[in-house]
Amino acid sequence: MGLPVMPLREFFALAKVPFVVDRRRAVRDVAPLLAGAALLVAIDMGLSAATTPEIESEAAIGSLYAIRFVLASLYVVALCRRGASPSADFGIDRSRLREDARWSAAVVVTGALVTAAIAILAAAILAAAGSLPQLPASVEKMLDVTALLRDLPRTLGDAAAALVAAPLQEELVYRAILLPPLLMLLPAWVAIAVNALVFAFLHAVPYGFGWFVPAQLLGGVLMSIAFCARHSIVPAILVHSAGNLVLACGGVLYANLPRVWPTLFA
């Protein structure tokens, strides 16, 4: 059984999807949803600010993710029960879960192959030009493979948070809850840009404004497109998880490469 790879023409056509479907509605219909989403995002960011790198306990971080997820879930359930918004508005349709998961797997695999090809090409160009830029010392220390293996329980806890907890909780809040009212109110490209900026700011609160934020801006755009492509939270969750995996594996590889190939770096 081969990998579920999507034709490249279809893969790149996904970027057009948010811009060909007009979801805009009257301001009076959107204002309550946008106000509720903004309040939930503000609360979520406040809780996220508590998950700073100084917290040593995976249990504490896991509990904060759980609290944030429960709050978002209660918000969705409350709106659905009141009839203010059906679950499909949040990209949640149980009848399509299997189809969405199959489609998303093809997107993720194709995206990973395209990303890997671009990364290898960029690394080859930089290496041929002279030397690769070295990561900050603090980042190298954090991604040192010896330290990661020495504290394996913490490493596995961080992996579970990055690959499972974060994609589930953050996509529920920042794509399923925040993005639809933005799309109902603003032109698609503005809505996606605002969503990506809010998502990047979420990560800048505990980690600071630095090299990490551009990756979150790009991630916010990609997850928004994944959500819009089928108006489903499933593709956004899987793209988020795959993106975190690529960032983590690429970061660990890059941080430890100077040990085996020091001449590549400045």
Residue 3 counted as domain residue: no
Site of tokens 């605002």: 194
As a whole-number percent, the residues of the chain with pLDDT over 70 amount to 85
Residue 185 counted as domain residue: yes
- Dist CA 250 CA 135 (whole Å): 12
Q: Are 143 and 252 in contact (CB under 8 A)?
A: yes
Residue 1 counted as domain residue: no
The pLDDT assigned to 171 comes to: 96
Residue 163 counted as domain residue: yes
* Total structural domains within the chain: 1
* Residue 190, SS3 per DSSP: helix
- Dist CA 162 CA 232 (whole Å): 21
Given CA atoms 180, 181, 184, 189 in this order, what sign does their dihedral have?
A: negative
- Alpha carbon of 63 to those of 56, 69, 81, 153: distances in Å? 13, 10, 26, 17
End-to-end CA gap in the chain: 43
Distance from chain centroid for Cα 9: 24
DSSP codes of every residue in 92-103: --GGGHHHHHHH
Q: What is the pLDDT of residues 72-120, one digit of tens each?
A: 999 999 999 988 788 998 999 888 888 999 889 998 898 888 888 887 8
Residue span of the structural domain in which 44 resides? 8-264
- Dist CA 201 CA 45 (whole Å): 9
Residue 2 counted as domain residue: no
Among 6-20, 57-71, 166-180, 193-207, the range of highest mean pLDDT: 166-180
Which pTM was predicted? 0.89
pLDDT band at 206 (very low <50, low <70, confident <90, very high): low
pLDDT of 50 > 80? The answer is no
- Dist CA 266 CA 262 (whole Å): 9
Residue 253 counted as domain residue: yes
Q: Which residues pair with 265 in a beta bridge?
A: 132
